Amino acid sequence: MIFTSFEFVLFFAAVLLIRSYLRNFNVEKWFLLIASYLFYMSWSVPCAFLILLTSFVDYFVGVGLGRIKNQRKRKLLLIVSIVANLGVLGFFKYTNFFLGNMNWGLTELGFHVQPLYYDILLPVGISFFTFQSMTYTIETYRRNIPASHSPRDFLLFVAFFPQLLAGPINRAADLLPQFASRVRATAEEFEAGLAQFALGAVKKLVISDQIAPNVDMIFANPGDYDGLTLLQGAMGYALQIYCDFSGYSDMAIGCARMMGFRFMENFQMPYSALSITEFWQRWHISLSSWFRDYLYIPLGGNRKGMERTYINLMLTMLLCGLWHGASWNFVFWGGLHGVALATHKAWKCWTPFVVLLNNRPAFRIVWSVVSRFLTLSVVLVGWIFFRAQNWDIAWLYLNRMTTWTQDGTQVISPYILPALVAVVVAHLLIHKDSNWAEEISQRRVPIRIIYYTSLILCITSLGASDSAPFIYFQF
């Protein structure tokens, strides 16, 4: 059951309707919990038990952290939680990656070993719910939040259906208190949620799903296409993954908002970023801030000198890459962003030079164009490694694209180009820090009618009829 399916619309309508009739707050929370597990079970029944198991481990660790005063014992409890969560994640996601690499290493050393491979089903959303659950134990350990004494509330925090499959990775400090008192959406909140949900559906159905087959075609055989087509494919994928994932996040946030809950924003027009650092402040915000708060800063962040800062950045981004998938392509993608972030940090030392020239308007315009171009170039190259099936294909793609090869078929996709134009126009018209959906209920009635009519018309006339699962479900 995905957000863009007819079943989900029915499911969500039923949840809203039944919830509005429930008078007892405890019954309401039980109802939301059961609905969340039913939602997950529409994907996989056995994996629901995995969420239950990891949630209970973290719940009891949290209870322990709340009671125990001894710092060593508390640390031990935290380690239990981290090992349990990362252990589950590692087993399901990285076992075959580890075995494959071990086999390759042994073969390279001259040992002849039987290749091992286990057919392990990857539970959908595992990277998200384990990370979300860990925010609770870490924050409880740091005494930033009190331990939850309601197993039901904690289970609901981990499994709440709008965010269960692909985030946003909400912080325990933000979401858990929302289950403490009864919340109901006002008309304005409901409208903001609806507007965001509809906007997400347009991104997914009209842009991402429509350009996906064309992008797949180009990435399947990059050796067959010329440089222009390959550039188009890379830009198409940049658009596809953005619209797919930010569309999903919009729908998740919108669903929660319609019920009166608030999730953290996950995307804020990342392709408008003027630097790679700003890009990561706008792209998958819930994950990048997770890595910042629970890995980069504990490693020392930028407090231990420049060299250590670069190392911390690299390490954080390499692990961020690995989080996305068990493949060296993802690790390389993370490493590339790590290098770019470190380079940008080093460049910022030259700031006085830029500030001096920044007073001139002409320079500011040129500088903004150059900055955007450089940022997007790094992001685009990164996406090639992210999307390509393997290392060789990624290099072949990059090589043919950057040398602007003329040898190969030139395909001008009738889907990618209009989508690119639409997104560029949207980026030019909308301020990068504004939240259109949030502001919609404050606008005048004709504007609201035009907004909803446009979304309805886009979805019903240009939306793909068979929606593919969201890209980030595989992570």
DSSP bridge pairs for 409: 225
Q: Is 11 in the site for another protein (CB under 8 A)?
A: no
Mask of contacts with another protein, 356-395, x by CB under 8 A?
A: ----------------------------------------
Least Cβ distance, residue 7 to another protein (angstroms): 8
Distance CA 19, CA 185 (A): 12
**Of these, 71, 359, 406, 465, which contacts another protein (CB under 8 A)?**
465
The residues carrying an active-site annotation are: 324
Q: Is 464 in the site for another protein (CB under 8 A)?
A: yes
Least Cβ distance, residue 91 to another protein (angstroms): 27
Amino acid at 268: Q
Cis amide prior to 168 (ω within 30 degrees):
yes
User: Residue 428, Cβ neighbours under 10 Å: how many?
Assistant: 8
For another protein, which stretch binds (CB under 8 A), given 59-67, 315-323, 383-391, 445-453?
445-453
Amino acid at 463: G
**Of these, 347, 370, 449, 474, which contacts another protein (CB under 8 A)?**
449
For another protein, which stretch binds (CB under 8 A), given 29-37, 47-55, 131-139, 463-471?
463-471
Token couple for 221: 């055989």
Residues 155-214 that bind another protein (CB under 8 A): 186-188, 190-191, 194, 206, 210, 213-214
CA 319 to chain centre: 15
Q: Is 413 in the site for another protein (CB under 8 A)?
A: yes
Contact residues for 128 (Cβ-Cβ < 8 A; gap 6+): 163, 164, 165, 166, 167, 169
Amino acid at 221: N
Instruction: Give the alpha-carbon dihedral of 38, 56, 136, 143, to 10 degrees.
Output: 150
**Of these, 217, 299, 380, 396, which contacts another protein (CB under 8 A)?**
217
For another protein, which stretch binds (CB under 8 A), given 300-308, 351-359, 375-383, 404-412?
404-412
Q: Which is nearer to another protein, 185 or 252 (CB)?
A: 185
- Interface size with another protein, residues (CB under 8 A): 37
Distance CA 70, CA 4 (A): 49
Q: What separation, in Å, do the N-terminal and C-terminal C-alpha atoms of the chain show?
A: 17
Nearest to 80 by CA among 16, 149, 140: 140
Q: Which residues bind another protein (CB under 8 A)?
A: 5-6, 186-188, 190-191, 194, 206, 210, 213-214, 216-217, 409-415, 441, 445, 448-449, 451-453, 456-457, 460-466
